[in-house]
Chain A
């Protein structure tokens, strides 16, 4: 399998900077103008309707009501202005980045104001926050798993498969033993087993890593589906009724208004969000991190200074598998409990997209994961508001957003240099 390795960005000559700025600015301005037309001047907001934002989980308390049209108008106008500034103003890189953030926030808020206009229920901010955070958990864990492996030079497309095997094993073992902790450990180890399999075939047998990852996903889907049919579907009471993690209320923090619910979650939830700063510190501030980055960028140089490239790659793939296995654990005993066939529904792939969008950095990947988590939750948040958008299109939103963002970022992000290149000690 030596033919056709794809290095997504290396072979394409960098476009002239001005043009990408121009195109990006124009597309932002056009979308902003569309927002102005659709959200602010549309039927839904034009009748003087108000949009209600609730800031307490209990309905009807501490609400703020804003005039929908004026708010949507202001927000869309700011978004449009961001686009125009991008085209015409000579601004620096940092300013551009913040402009993009402002742009996204304004567009999303304008959309929400439009969607909730005239509804007596309104938008419950703490609930949306909590649901977004919950949806973000597997994405963060998957993205961090892929980060560890890709920073060491191995493409981990198999996050999806690690989710599935982790979720299945956690549900099975937790049901059989009645202990969530056994499920936690078994699920994480199952993820690690899958990633070690990938590491073995990538390092030792040098199979093309993207292909290998996809095949391992098929394998994991088949294995879990097979055992689901043979065990769980026949005897769900014994094999698929796991206990789930109890919420661990952090005193003090949990009683803060609005963000309080984020501190009344279970241990997997906290672990997912803690993994980001921990990994940031590990990658950029420790010896392990330096070595990991070096084998992902230039393994030959790392080998020359005495780093055991293959050994570290195996080790890191094991850690990566533990992380994505934890993501699988979250899917079953961390959240809903029961295992279902192919229950990860592509979230492993979204996690990888988050890593790409986040330019292979922990903080960037986290921000992207939150964005995708929000897109995943959009449908639940908007379903009681009876928007004119069919539910199917809201379901597509996270996937469409992924395509859009990947297309917009395109050549600007750069993967670790030695990614997808097997290392052979000379």
Chain B
């Protein structure tokens, strides 16, 4: 968002051309520098999170009452709250210094948890990205995840006749199909009836949630008869579970590989395929796309179909992955807020496939660390939603970051860059 600077006549005194290295360094510290803005956005969001942690601690707030007579009390407990919280966030997500002498599985435990948590976020981020590039917002992650999870669960516990790993393959495809059906429905309504996809997807979230929780999990076809009184489905057969990626002691499954493959495919799809080009064209300017012979409705439907299929894969990893807490069965909160987190991931990744992967790793780390933080310090995992939302808001408003940190714009830092 650069402001229009009046084009003044450049003086003819020769400006010494800065060396390439110094220009890179100087560019890095301007408001147009994406990595710097992202980094500062994260710092700023963590700062706000720290303030929230402090003001939600009644003891610290009581000490704030007599701040001017004994400031050390307040400062100590505030520091204690925040430092322990964020230390545990780090220990739970990247690595814990205490495990330096431990077994490899202890040492790599946190980072593999992060990877496992990042996996569904990659799918979701890519799904939102595709819809977004097509000019639509897929806020129906929850519903599409549930749709995918329902079909994948059914195949995983029912179709045990399929030999070996083939059952897993069919289960994964069924999950994709679930998302595709719902996504295709949204796209069709959008293209043919002009129904706003934001409203439709949000409504479908609730429809699917009620369908799953209050109907499907009470039917004999799905409900696990050994778990009377719990709404939980029959568990997946062992053949249909996603295998471990780094050996049985580490908590990452093959879903991560699927997610990376999906990233490559989506990248190729946008850059090389005809349909990907059409979707991007429709997203940028539907009228121009139509004038150039692109069927807008078709591109919209396909965008939502692909988006839905990727959302369905969240359902697959949630049910068949190692993160499932219920012995690989389907439960009402199978979505775990991932459908909405996918939006923030896609935005932080600037709706680029590999950007989504980096954003997923960051948010996966937050999620993995948050559970440790909640267990050890009693800091609710909801703070992660706050921090994630703030990061996205700050990243989307580089101007704000520029104003807060008084970053120079590129024109000011690099002479001649404006011309």
Contact = CB atoms under 8 A, between A and B. Distances in A.
A391 B214 CA distance: 7
B124 to A, nearest CB: 13
B393 A219 contact: yes
Contacts of B382: 221-223, 225-226, 228-229
Contact of B133 (A4, A206, A400): A4
Contact of A215 (B204, B206, B344): B344
Contacts of A346: 202-203, 205-206
A347 to B, nearest CB: 10
A414 to B, nearest CB: 11
Contact of A227 (B56, B283, B284): B56
Interface stretch (A58-66, A107-115, A349-357): A349-357
Nearest to B186: A403
B380 A349 contact: no
Contact of B199 (A11, A214, A352, A396): A352
B37 interface: no
A102 B197 CA distance: 28
B313 interface: no
Contact of A410 (B135, B193, B283, B399): B193
A210 interface: yes
Contacts of B296: 11-12
B198 interface: yes
Contacts of A8: 194, 196
B133 to A, nearest CB: 7
A403 B203 CA distance: 7
Interface in A164-216: 201, 204-208, 210-212, 214-216
B383 A222 contact: yes
B245 interface: no
B95 interface: no
Given A205-B396, A229-B382, A392-B214, A12 B194 contact: yes
Interface residues of B, number: 61
A230 B213 contact: no
B392 to A, nearest CB: 5
A225 B380 contact: yes
Contacts of B258: none
Given A353-B203, A396-B206, A218 B385 contact: yes
Contacts of B390: 219
Contacts of A300: none
Given A4-B283, A221-B385, A406 B199 contact: yes
Contacts of B399: 204-205
Contacts of A211: 137, 343, 347, 396
B27 interface: no
A210 B128 CA distance: 13
Given A6-B137, A205-B399, A215 B351 contact: no
A216 B389 CA distance: 7
B43 interface: no
Nearest to B379: A230
B179 to A, nearest CB: 17
A1 B349 CA distance: 12
Nearest to B350: A1
Nearest to A219: B389
Contacts of B206: 345-346, 396, 399
Given A3-B351, A157-B198, A214-B139, A402 B386 contact: no
Contacts of B210: 392-393, 395-396, 399
Given A205-B400, A207-B397, A214-B139, A219 B343 contact: no
Interface in B190-220: 193-200, 202-207, 210-211, 213-215
A231 interface: yes
A308 interface: no
A226 B56 contact: yes
Name the residue among A222, A229, A402 with the largest chain B CB count within 10 angstroms: A222
10 contacts: A4-B136, A205-B1, A205-B400, A218-B340, A218-B341, A219-B389, A349-B203, A356-B199, A403-B203, A411-B194
Given A228-B380, A353-B199, A406-B199, 9 more contacts: A208-B396, A212-B393, A214-B137, A218-B344, A221-B385, A222-B388, A223-B52, A406-B196, A411-B194
Interface of B: 1, 52, 56-58, 132-137, 139, 189, 193-200, 202-207, 210-211, 213-215, 283-284, 286-287, 290, 296, 340-341, 343-344, 347, 351, 378-380, 382-386, 388-390, 392-393, 396-397, 399-400
